[in-house]
Amino acid sequence: MDSEHNKSIGRLISLLNKYGNVYMNEKLKDYNLGAGQYQFLMVLYQNEGLSQDEVASILKMDKGTTARAIAKLESEGYVERKVFNTDKRVKKLYLTIKAHEFEKEIRSILTNWKMVLANGLSTEEQNITLVLLNQIALNAEEYLDCKH
């Protein structure tokens, strides 16, 4: 692989995503979950009772991907849908006891991955990296929002 290819921001972000998915799939397999579902759980840990569309919006995911992930979480007993009182068409997502019991474990898995990624970086370097990655993500989002 040539050195210019290794310096590509997009390529490096893609690799980090790939490695993160491999790590999460390995760590979550005993829980019958994969890298495609844990983000949805994390959103619900922060704010239980959201609709499926609200979760999709927060994660910037399309409705089909969200529906499949939520269906998997539901079939594995981590999430349940409850009809919203004022509008019977709106179903809100709630965590089950199983999901609440799993929260400490998933947070530990994520903390360990963060430690792997930050190995050898000072706190200042970690903070700078977060600021830069956030700006890169915002740049991409703004560009795509302008295109639509």
Task: Identify the band that residue 7 occupies on the pLDDT scale cut at 50, 70 and 90.
Answer: confident
pTM assigned to the model: 0.85
pLDDT at 4 over 70: no
How many Cβ atoms are within 10 Å of 139's Cβ, its own excluded?
10
Q: Of 3.40.190.10, 1.10.10.10, 1.20.120.80, 3.40.47.10, which CATH number belongs to 3-147?
A: 1.10.10.10
pLDDT at 123 over 80: yes
**Residue 110 near residue 27 (C-beta atoms within 8 A):** no
- Residue 15's H or E segment, with its range, is helix 9-28
Mean pLDDT of 128-133: 96
Average pLDDT, the chain: 92
Residue among 45, 65, 66 nearest 55 (CA) = 66
Residue among 56, 43, 54, 42 nearest 109 (CA) = 42
- % of the chain exceeding 70 in pLDDT: 94
